[in-house]
Structure 1
Amino acid sequence: MFRLEPTDREVLENPREKIIVPGGDILFVEAPGLGIVGTCALQRTGPGAFELTKMGVCENARGMKAGEFLLEAVIRRAKELGATRLYLLTNHKCAAAIHLYEKLGFVHDAGIMADYGARYERCDVAMLYKGN
């Protein structure tokens, strides 16, 4: 859907250094008979601040609620890690994902866009977790 940007490459090629060591986490979701079908990372970006990033679910698992299960788990994990600010950056082309984020308590936020949106050329949607 998108070309990899330098920020993407840095995180994907160095997940331990960019996600785990600074205090983030990477979660996976498994579907019976399919194996691992999705993943998402929590990247610490400051004291109490985490970006929900690199979320994806395989096409063959869509419709199985794997994404919703994964997102709920990521939100719980962010709270366990002490998140006081959980946000995400995406693109309007990801309409199904945006709908899921909204369903689980994320709201569109101009402040998040101003603070973090420049990290990605493709970013035109920024959301902050407010809870349900």
Structure 2
Amino acid sequence: MRQATARRSSAQHHRQRRSCFFLESDGVIAGTFALHKTGEREYELSKMAVAETMRGKGLGKRMCSLALEEACRRNASRIILYSSRSLENAIHIYRETGFVEIPLEPGIYNRANIKMELEIR
């Protein structure tokens, strides 16, 4: 596997700036994630996924690092995410990246049962 690289596709959604990123490896899309601004210096990390055939190669960690780099570039002070506790591998990667669990407000996403944040210094 050659070096995985990210490319961005931006779109305007509901008056919020959202950027979608695609991780490419050997000419194929291996993963994706999105960042969108939810506050003055806050971004939400969402839509993170790694292709089944590409799992176990560190791409989830790579995408978390890329998301953090992009958030820093945008002068973010905080990244939040919503997920499901059943996605144990993803939760493990988020914790390794420095995300910590915070209280989940009701009614945000039907399938989410955990909210996490990463404070950027």
1:125 aligns with 2:118: no
Match of 1:31 among 22, 25, 31: 25
What is the distance in 2 between the residues matched to 1:126 and 1:24?
19
More strand by share: 2
What is the distance in 2 between the residues matched to 1:24 and 1:81?
12
Q: Which residue of 2 aligns with 1:16?
A: 11
In the superposition, the TM-score normalised over structure 1's length comes to 0.76
Quick check: 50-59 or 77-86, which moved more? Answer: 77-86
Q: Which residue of 2 aligns with 1:51?
A: 44
Amino acid at match of 2:48: M
SS in 1 for 2:71: helix
Amino acid at match of 1:126: K
RMSD of the TM alignment (CA)?
Answer: 1.9
What is the distance in 2 between the residues matched to 1:59 and 1:27?
18
**Structure 1 stretches of 5 or more lacking a match?**
1-14
In the superposition, the TM-score normalised over structure 2's length comes to 0.83
Percent identical residues: 29
SS in 2 for 1:46: coil
Match of 1:91 among 84, 87, 91: 84
More helix by share: 1
The alpha-carbon deviation at position 17 of structure 1 amounts to: 2.0
What is the distance in 1 between the residues matched to 2:69 and 2:18?
13
**Structure 2 stretches of 5 or more lacking a match?**
1-9
The alpha-carbon deviation at position 64 of structure 1 amounts to: 1.1
How many residue pairs match? The answer is: 111
The alpha-carbon deviation at position 25 of structure 1 amounts to: 2.0
SS in 2 for 1:68: helix
For the 8 Å contact 2:11–2:19, the answer to whether it is kept is: no
What is the distance in 2 between the residues matched to 1:63 and 1:129?
23
What is the distance in 2 between the residues matched to 1:31 and 1:118?
36
Amino acid at match of 1:16: A
